[in-house]
Amino acid sequence: MDVVIYHNPQCGTSRNVLAMIRNSGVEPHIIEYLKCPPTRLLLTQLLDRAGLTVRQILREKGTPFHDLGLGDPSLSDDALLDAIEAHPILMNRPLVVTPKGVRLCRPSEAVLDLLPPQRGQFIKEDGERVIDDLGRRVATT
């Protein structure tokens, strides 16, 4: 299975998603989007495939979102895409592309619907058990 992850190694959610991809037996193509951001055309195609708007992919925390006034609902998609092009950190992550679809994987478990079955247990960095020893999702309470 061909999998692409738009990844930020400084992000715990992104690291967990990458680890779950690998736990499924897949070695993904890793694109560190801060170093190599997707083109405007590719990003709009990915968003379309994911069923997301440009506004839904914007990240506020730890970005210049507020300084740039991006919360203004009158801003067009083109204006938001201009901001993402100028500041790739504004793109929320991780974005994962597989033959099963495209998804913004927040929470990290969202990636599981795009992958083959997990190959054994998976525990997130924070200690939360997501997959049991048999590769099954652990029910959350």
Instruction: Report the catalytic residues.
Output: 11
**Nearest-angstrom CA–CA distance, 60 and 13:** 15
For residue 138, give Cα distances in angstroms to 24, 46, 123.
Answer: 16, 30, 10
Tell me which residue of 9, 8, 81 sits closest to 46, measured CA to CA. Answer: 81
Two tokens, residue 60: 């506020």
**Nearest-angstrom CA–CA distance, 124 and 52:** 26
For residue 75, give Cα distances in angstroms to 55, 67, 70, 78.
Answer: 10, 14, 7, 8
Give me the phi and psi of 101, to 5 degrees please. 140, -175
